[in-house]
Amino acid sequence: MFKKILIANRGEIACRVIKTAHKMGIKAVAVHSEADKDSLHVQLADEAVCIGPAASKESYLSMDKIIAACKQTGAEAVHPGYGFLSENAEFSRRVEEEGIKFIGPKHYSIGKMGDKIESKKLALEHKVNTIPGYNKPIDGPQQAVEIAKGIGYPVMIKASAGGGGKGLRVAYNDKEAFEGFSSCVNEAKTAFGDDRVFIEKFVVEPRHIEIQVLGDSFGNYVYLNERDCSIQRRHQKVIEEAPSPFIDPATRKAMGEQAVALARAVQYESAGTVEFVVGADKSFYFLEMNTRLQVEHPVTELITGLDLVELMIRVAAGEKLPLTQAEVKLDGWAMECRINAEDPFRGFLPSTGRLVKFQPPAEIPLKVRVDTGVYEGGEISMYYDSMIAKLIVHGKDRTEAIQQMRDALNAFYIRGVSSSIPFQAALMQHPRFCSGSFNTGFIAEEYPKGFHAEDVPHEDFGFLAAVAACARRKYIDRAVRISHQARGMGRKVGAEWTVLIGNQYYPLSLMPIDSPHVTGYQVQMADKSYRIISDWHFGLPIFSGTCNGEPICVQIERIGLMFRVAHNGVICKATVMTARAAELLALMPEKVPPDMSKFLLSPMPGLLRELAVAAGQEVKAGEKLAVIEAMKMENVLRAEQDCVVDALLAKQGESLSVDQPIISFK
């Protein structure tokens, strides 16, 4: 077994690999860019080597620097994680040529399966179901249109070296095929240095289901059931689960055997994932093979009881797989939410900055797990991906797993940057998701105009008003007990209160529960009654306890005279006041916000990559105004209506903050 390994990655996956290495008694070496010098993976490692500036091309994508770091530290093996160089055949080959073990498949396996065009040819040779398409590189957008028409719309345009949703477009007509081809080529060239693109039939109402495979150097192969990754937004996975609510044992066996046949065909050694698109009739077609560890591997670990990183290390060290196909377990149900630094209420735009507060839910062995590469006070950088953490839960069945995830999301407290938690909390309550009746178009179909606060299901705002009133009353009860108050001047606390949430007033009566053994309040609101018991005290961000005997977990923080309350994806501001104060407030004139319609505002923090207009220029609706780059993705800002540019308020190459004016209009 290795004594020391180097992790050629950053963030959450680097931390994940380090933990398993330490569990196995192996020392771990971290590499980091200058931007990541204070990162969690650097702190967890036994040694750390700086390999260059923030830009990935000059650090995490530099093979020479990573190999030099191995030699410098005496690392015997390299784990590439996912992303960066993890599916780079040349990197695998060069590492092995230097006498360093690559904790992953051999370079020839990566070469054959990492190239989507070659992998499809190989799949056809070995009788693996494949989607109709044109599996040769395409010369230009016009040829792309002709091919698409021949296959029949809709089609999927994909970069051969693509992954992570980059270099991928779905086209429903000639115009979309023409434009989609150009976009795919540009994204692929930037992200992967390979601009080859191919086209295939897009399966309508598809499910994205993948099979986890393992192989060793002795010719042993197993598949570890399936993962359903159909809940996607713009081809980026949002929620993953294992097993799939759609797959029956016969389909699982057929898909697993085809996945193993493909792995065997390329002499695959390590953990890998064979991705399939599955139709409504359970017909399945090979998409691609990811020759690396997947982001969502923890859900497979929780239903099988295996540590995939440990198995990868053992296989790389020359050991045999410790189990046969008959010994693979399928125990219960697991789900994973990717908690990303993005604002779901602003079109999921990236949200960078400092993690002012970061308090994940308590981890419970075999039930709740948090994989992260950040810490409170750390920075979410604009240079890398937006992942804050992965929240993984396990239950005896799917219903219990969903409830576990709801509770865990309620207890996940993040401040300083926006996160995807409200959106995921809403999904966990969506009837269609809960029923298991969904496909990869679910998010686009259910939220065609984006995600808004009113899309979050919540049956009872009165409950949130009651919690806010209890918190406010706690502050008042403390103030009443302050010593040395003038005799006869002490405050008399009434029972009648009103809570304002949005434009809605919630009159209520609130009294402390008269019991020496219970801390809480009885709240009466019209025809509803809430008996809230909690040992919450000032400054705690989580208000936990019971309401009418049922467990509750509500995020709450005081902001001046109001409370910010969050529960099940709902985020609201609640102002608690006396009944008389509510009467007077209702008489106050409403403050009208300033008119910002004549400005183009930056919807996110990022780099102003391009200004496409000039002062005095007439612009038509839909024309490009500017391009902002954040977290490796380009975001094009377009004119919402015909207008004339008055002035450019920001310069190309400038770093923008959210809502910063870029252009003014006449």
pLDDT digits (tens, 9 = 90+) for 139-192: 899 999 999 999 889 898 988 876 666 788 999 999 999 999 988 988 888 878
Predicted pLDDT at 596: 79
Report yes or no: 593 and 604 within 8 Å, Cβ to Cβ.
no
Asked if CATH classification 3.30.1490.20 holds for the domain at 132-201, the reply, yes or no, is yes
Query: Which residues on neighbouring strands pair with residue 608, listed in sequence order?
Result: 628
> Residue 482: exposed, middle, or buried by beta-carbon count in 10 A (0-12, 13-18, 19+)?
exposed
What CATH class has 461-483+491-585?
alpha beta
Q: Measuring CA to CA, which residue among 411, 365, 368 is closest to residue 390?
A: 368
Lowest mean pLDDT among 184-188, 407-411, 447-451: 184-188
Lowest mean pLDDT among 22-36, 261-275, 475-489, 604-618: 475-489
Tokens of 116: 């989507």
User: For the structural domain made of 4-103, what CATH number should be given?
Assistant: 3.40.50.20
Q: How confident is the model at residue 196 (pLDDT cuts 50, 70, 90)?
A: confident
Matching fold, domains 105-130+206-331 and 332-457: yes
What CATH class has 599-665?
mainly beta
Mean pLDDT of the chain: 92
Given a cut of 90, whether residue 491 has pLDDT beyond it is: no
Indicate if 288 belongs to the active site: yes
Higher pLDDT, 152 or 60: 60
Helix, strand, or coil here: 497?
A: strand
Predicted pLDDT at 238: 95
- Cα–Cα distances (Å) from 550 to 395, 426, 456, 547, in that order, read 19, 20, 21, 5
Predicted pLDDT at 490: 62
φ/ψ of 168, rounded to 5, equals -145, 130
Report yes or no: 284 and 251 within 8 Å, Cβ to Cβ.
yes
What is Dmax (Cα atoms) for the chain?
93
Q: Is the pTM of this model over 0.85?
A: no
Question: In this structure, which topology does domain 332-457 adopt according to CATH?
Answer: D-amino Acid Aminotransferase; Chain A, domain 1 (3.30.470)
**Domain locations in the chain as residue ranges:** 4-103, 105-130+206-331, 132-201, 332-457, 461-483+491-585, 599-665
Asked if CATH classification 3.30.70.380 holds for the domain at 105-130+206-331, the reply, yes or no, is no
Residues 255, 263: Cα–Cα separation, whole Å: 12
Given a cut of 90, whether residue 110 has pLDDT beyond it is: yes
* Catalytic residue, candidates 76, 226, 240, 288: 288
Q: How confident is the model at residue 648 (pLDDT cuts 50, 70, 90)?
A: very high
